[in-house]
Structure 1
Amino acid sequence: MTGSVQNFFQTHVLRNSENSKNQIEEANPSSSFSPCIRQVFLAIGPLLLTVSSGMTFGYSAILIPQLQVAENNTISIDRGQASWIASIATLPMAVGSVIGGFCLEQLGRKATHTISCLPIFLGWLLIYLANGIKMILLGRFITGLFTGILTTATAVYIGETCEPAYRGILLAGISFCVAFGLFTSHLLGTFLSWQNTAMVCSLLPLISQIIIYFPPESATWLAGKARIEEAEQAFYWYRGASDNAKKELNIILQCRKHEAKGSSRLECFFL
């Protein structure tokens, strides 16, 4: 079994690279854009979800004070309920991180982001439509759980698809987007009701879902699943076909070949 996997990699590592490049240039309209533009576009979708994560962290700071003004709301809360509203989004994040690791390996980097968009949207929608404390807590729990799933997914997807020249600034964008989401939720809550703030927050997962639809899956993950031709096409989509890109693609495929043989990942550093 191991020998057949090894032979599969050996017959595909170099043979299809140039053909994949030509197919991408002929069939993909995005080839008219530079690799830099494509990589930034690819990163925007996950980063918008990161902004939504920041909004999840900051939302309780504007929600609780508004709910405590009972005469302006149909929902009133006591101190204990306020504590639950503040903490319920962070409690499931640890579980979400574990689930996220499983999803990254089994479903893929792009797919993990895709399946997270709808639940995050539904979580914000539950908060917007809430007529009681239970719906608010459920919405906060859902957004917190899938924020945990995305904790590592965004960094892995951007790290595997963006070249070193842009990787640092785009990965730094994760922290910036969390902070920006916190700031935005506070700003919106200053001028809008907690319901309307939740509605605005719910738009980001939908926009992110549309953007994430277009870029391909991570070539590293595809190669690990022995989907070599798809990996080559994905790599050329977001990295172009420069000599450096071809060398890096070859290293990725060779590394996956060694992993298929059961070799240590450390061997990849010496390719």
Structure 2
Amino acid sequence: MSRIISRSTLSQTLAVMVKNMVLIGYGMAFCFPTILIPDLSRRNVDDPLHLGLEGISWIGSVNLVLIPVGCILSGIITKPLGRRRALQLINIPFFICWITYYFSTEVWHILAALSVTGFVGGLKVTPVLTYVAEISEPRLRGILISTANVSISAGIMMEFILGKFLEWKLAALCSLIIPLLTFLLLFLVPETPSWLVSKRRFEEAKQSLAWLRGWVPVDEVAKEYKELLLNSQMARHLEGHIVDQNNGRNVLRKRVSMVKMMRKRSFIRAFGLATFACFLAHFCGVSPVGVYAVNIFTSLGSPIDGHSATVVSGVVSMIAGLLSITIVGRLGRRLTSFISLAGTAITFSALGIYTHLNNMNTLLILKNLSDVKINSTEDSSRIHSSSISWFPFSTLILGVFSAQMGICILPWALVTEVFSYEIRDIAAGMITMNFYILGFLCIKTFFNYTSLLTLPGTFWFFSAVSVAGLVILYFVLPETEGKTVYEIHQHFSGKRKLGKTMNRRNCSVEEGSKQSENLHLREYI
């Protein structure tokens, strides 16, 4: 039995690792503006690829504009294509965008490619989320889902390393290897059994399930296959497919049912909480720091060059993502989020004090691209001894670690935990849209509130957001770690309280799922 479990774990892990290649490629594309901005802002004003301040703000944020559009279309495109094929096709536009960067001669070429990567980043949402959920066993699902954030961080780190050693066009050329390799590797993993069953491709579903459970004979997965068929029938019933097929009222009933569910207290409370978590994930400060990292590190007098410091922040982000898997399991999601926000509040507050005392009132990039004259006092204040200059560098790195450890992953954890079965797909798309819209607003307006509040004031603003978020979450965020789906749904429906501590009892995921399904079925009927 242990051998079968080991092989089953290996097969599911390999499938998810291949899927995560898509996220690595997305992470590389998502952080590419961080590499672009320093080089393009330093070019001669007569160069067609020179960027002014407005251009820089668009380069840093335009890839977020079309992500919500991609999110809307993600489920529509994924359903007929299948999860695996959708993941494959996503790599084609990524590949084309990397080529576009390499051959670009005008700024609009770069902006167009960034917009496309954002749109495709939205398209990835449904296949990425559903693939893991539909191929993994309950005992592995939580860990395998947690690898998504780590994979994106790994992609960001890889792109930062390329930007450190290569000119941005060569970095783009090297980056196209990832979508090409991912496209080919996805041929080696199966489609999800659930999708195959939904398309009545039953033999292929059996083969897929046998592959995912350790390359075993089909007979050994017969019991799980029967449960899969039963769950598929229940899902079709819940979605309103088994309703008067002849008179077409099933579609209308399904839509009316969705609207009713979105008006329920459970959905409104869960949606509000997840959207607030999205706000905190950006406005705690980590998003603009990530995009404008090179200039921010340089402005703070980093003891190492801006590109090297950015590589360090990428490595730290990935380590934080890995540690979060263990930390959440030991401390719970609620306490981990509090520690994360406390960390960002302290670090950005300290950075505000440091920049204020050293008369660092603006970023270097703002001075380089404006006609403001740098006075001698502020000029001299940017020359630090090596012992002092390590303070802002290490503090900012600690802030990145704190954010990536908890608050940055909270929105995605809530999407998978707090919404009921029937509405989860729609809720995931809506929350993802909100996440990237807020991200666009945060990054696009960064220079505006840096100019308005000064650099110390901006850091204090990030700190204040973190403090306010910690206080609000203390009262509204329940502890979901160790709780069943049924218990979580009951909490947001107002029928029970989850409490503020972890539930360490050995409650099976299958039991919780069955309770949840029975609840949904009773409410539907």
Q: If the length of structure 1 is used for normalisation, what is the TM-score?
A: 0.79
User: Hey, what does 1:206 align to over in structure 2?
Assistant: 180
Q: CA deviation at 1:79?
A: 1.4
1:87 positional shift: 1.3
The structure with more radius of gyration: 2
Greater relative contact order, per chain length (Cα 8 Å cut-off, separation 6+) = 1
> Are 2:47 and 1:80 equivalent residues in the alignment?
no
The structural deviation recorded for 1:222 is 0.9
Alignment partner for residue 251 of structure 1, among 221, 227, 236?
Answer: 227
Task: Kindly state the Cα deviation for residue 108 of structure 1 after the two structures are TM-superposed.
Answer: 0.8
CA displacement at 1:99 relative to structure 2: 1.3
Contact 2:206 2:221 in 1 (8 A): no
Q: Does 1:140 align with 2:117?
A: no
Q: Which residue of 1 aligns with 2:453?
A: none
> Does 1:157 find its partner at 2:138?
no
2:11 to 17, 21, 38: 38
How far does the alpha carbon of each residue in 1:89-148 deviate from its partner, in whole angstroms, 9 at most, with x for none?
A: 111111111111112212111111011111111111111211111111111111111111
Comparing 260-269 and 88-97, the one that deviates more: 260-269
Counterpart in the other structure of 1:17: none
Match of 2:30 among 57, 78, 85: 57
> Contact 1:96 / 1:149 at 8 angstroms: preserved in 2?
yes
Structure 1: gaps of 5 or more residues: 1-30
Name whichever of 239-248 and 37-46 sits farther off: 239-248
CA contact (8 A) 1:127 1:140 kept: no
Equivalent residues of 2:20, 2:151 under 8 A apart: yes
Residues of 1 paired with 2:60 and 2:220: CA distance? Answer: 48
The aligned amino acid for 1:106 is P
Q: What is the Cα deviation at residue 164 of structure 1?
A: 2.4
From the superposition, tell whether residues 139 and 65 of structure 1 become closer, same or farther in structure 2 (CA, over 3 Å).
Answer: same
| Distance in 2 separating the partners of 1:89 and 1:41 | 30
- Superposed counterparts of 1:118-129, under 5 Å: 118-129=92-103
The one-letter amino acid paired with 1:48 is M
Within 2, Cα distance between the matches of 1:260 and 1:155?
Answer: 20
Distance between the aligned counterparts of 2:99 and 2:112, measured in 1?
A: 11
Is the CA contact 1:109–1:217 (under 8 Å) kept in the aligned structure 2? yes
Q: Aligned residue for 2:167?
A: 193
Q: How does 1:92-107 map to 2 (within 5 A)?
A: 92-107=66-81
The corresponding residue for 2:316 is none
Amino acid at match of 2:230: Q
**Residues 1:218 and 2:192 aligned together:** yes
Q: Structure 2 CA distance, aligned partners of 1:258 and 1:171?
A: 24
Q: Distance in 1 between matches of 2:65 and 2:87?
A: 21
Any unmatched runs of 5+ in structure 2? 244-253, 255-420, 423-512
- Cα distance in 2, alignment partners of residues 236 and 160 from structure 1: 14
- Contact kept? 1:100, 1:112, Cα under 8 Å: no
The match for 1:22 is: none
| Alignment match, 2:434 | none
Give the letter aligned to residue 62 of structure 1.
I
Q: Which string of whole-angstrom CA distances, capped at 9 and with x for unpartnered residues, describes residues 190-241 of structure 1?
A: 2211111112221111111111011121110111112212211111111245
Task: Give the TM-score taking structure 2 as reference length.
Answer: 0.42
State the Cα RMSD in Å.
2.8
Displacement of 1:44 in angstroms is: 2.0
Count of aligned pairs between the two proteins: 240
Read off the aligned partner of 1:198 and give its amino acid letter: A
Q: CA deviation at 1:245?
A: 4.5
Instruction: Give the conservation status (yes or no) of the 8 Å contact 1:56–1:89.
Output: no
In the alignment, the residues of structure 1 paired with residue 127 and residue 236 of structure 2 have an alpha-carbon distance, to the nearest angstrom, of 23
Within 2, Cα distance between the matches of 1:210 and 1:119? Answer: 15
Correspondence for 1:16: none
**Structure 1 stretch displaced more, 157-166 or 260-269:** 260-269
